Amino acid sequence: MEQVRWAHGVARDRLATTAPGRWRHAQAVGVRAVQIADLYKPDHGLLVAAAVLHCIGYAPDLVDTGFPPVDGARHLRDLGAHPRLCGLVAHHGGAAVEAGLRGLADELAEFPDEPGPTRDALWYCELTVGPNGERRTFDQWIADIEARDPVGSVPRRFLELGRDQLRGAVDRTRERLSHVGLERWDPTVPESA
C-alpha cells in the first residue's frame, strides 16, 4: 500500500490548502475506491491511488494547459509515477471527449488510455461522490452539470457527447459489484439494503 500512502500525501500537499473542496472530494473518492477495491486485485492499490489523485490537476500551481486531467497527469509523470497511474488520472471521467472539445487531444495522447474494469471503477467512484464527499447517483451528477453550466458550454457539450460512455462505465461497475455482494456501496441502493 506504499503507492496509496504516496498518492494520499501528494494529493494532500497539493490540494488541502489551495483547493480544499477538491481535497474533500478526492478523499471521498478514495474512500469509495477502498470500499470496492478488493474486486480489482491486483489493481487494488492502483485504483485507490488514482481515485485520490484524479483531481490533482486542479491545484493552482499545476495549471499548464488549463485542463486538469492533463495537468495532473503531467505532474505525476514528473514525480516519477507509474505510467498506468498517470494514464488513469489523465483519462478519468471521460477526459478524451472534453480534451477533443478543448483542442487538447494531442496533449492527452501523451498518456495511455486503459479501457477496462479498473478504469470503469475509477469513473464509477468519481461519478458517485459529490463535490463535498456525499453519495450521489450518476443521474444526480448529470443534473448538477445541467443546473450549473449553460447550454452550449464545453461541460454541456461534453455531457451530450460523453454521457453514454460514462453511464456505461458506471453500469458495468455496478454489475460487477452486484455479483460479489457489494451492491450496498451503490448510492442508488438505500443504506439499509
Query: How confident is the model over 143-160, as pLDDT tens digits?
Result: 999 999 999 999 999 999
Rounded CA separation 138/144 (Å): 10
Q: Mean of the per-residue pLDDT values for the chain?
A: 92
- Nearest 5°: the CA angle 166, 168, 173 is 100
Domain extent, residue 146, equals 2-183
pLDDT at 11: 98
| Number of CB atoms found within 10 A of residue 14's CB | 24
The set of cell numbers assigned to 119 is: 478504469
Q: Is-contact 127 93, C-beta < 8 A?
A: yes
Domain-embedded: residue 136? yes
Domain-embedded: residue 164? yes
Q: From 125, 144, 166, 134, select the one nearest 29 (Cα to Cα).
A: 125
Domain-embedded: residue 193? no
High-pLDDT (> 90) share of the chain, %: 87
Domain-embedded: residue 17? yes
The set of cell numbers assigned to 45 is: 492499490
The sign one gets for the Cα dihedral 87, 77, 51, 161 is negative
Helix (H) or strand (E) holding 152, with range, is none
Total structural domains in the chain? 1
Q: From 58, 68, 53, 44, select the one nearest 10 (Cα to Cα).
A: 53
Give the type of residue at 104.
Answer: L
pLDDT at 133: 84
Domain-embedded: residue 192? no
Domain-embedded: residue 188? no
Residue-wise pLDDT for 95-147, tens only, equals: 999 999 999 999 999 999 999 999 999 999 999 998 888 889 999 999 999 99
Lowest mean pLDDT among 42-51, 60-69, 147-156, 183-192: 183-192
pLDDT at 190: 38
What's 37's DSSP letter?
A: G
Residue 2: strand, helix, or coil? helix
Domain-embedded: residue 34? yes
pLDDT confidence tier of residue 189, bands split at 50, 70 and 90: very low
High-pLDDT (> 70) share of the chain, %: 93
Cα–Cα distance list, 18 to 23, 51, 96, 129, 161 (Å): 9, 19, 26, 20, 31
Chain centre to alpha carbon of residue 98: 14
pLDDT at 58: 96
pLDDT confidence tier of residue 77, bands split at 50, 70 and 90: very high
pLDDT of residue 52 exceeding 80: yes
pLDDT at 180: 81
Domain-embedded: residue 135? yes
Give the type of residue at 53.
Answer: L
Please list the alpha-helical segments (H only) found in the chain. Answer: 2-15, 20-36, 44-53, 68-78, 83-90, 95-101, 105-108, 117-127, 138-148, 154-179
pTM across the whole model: 0.92
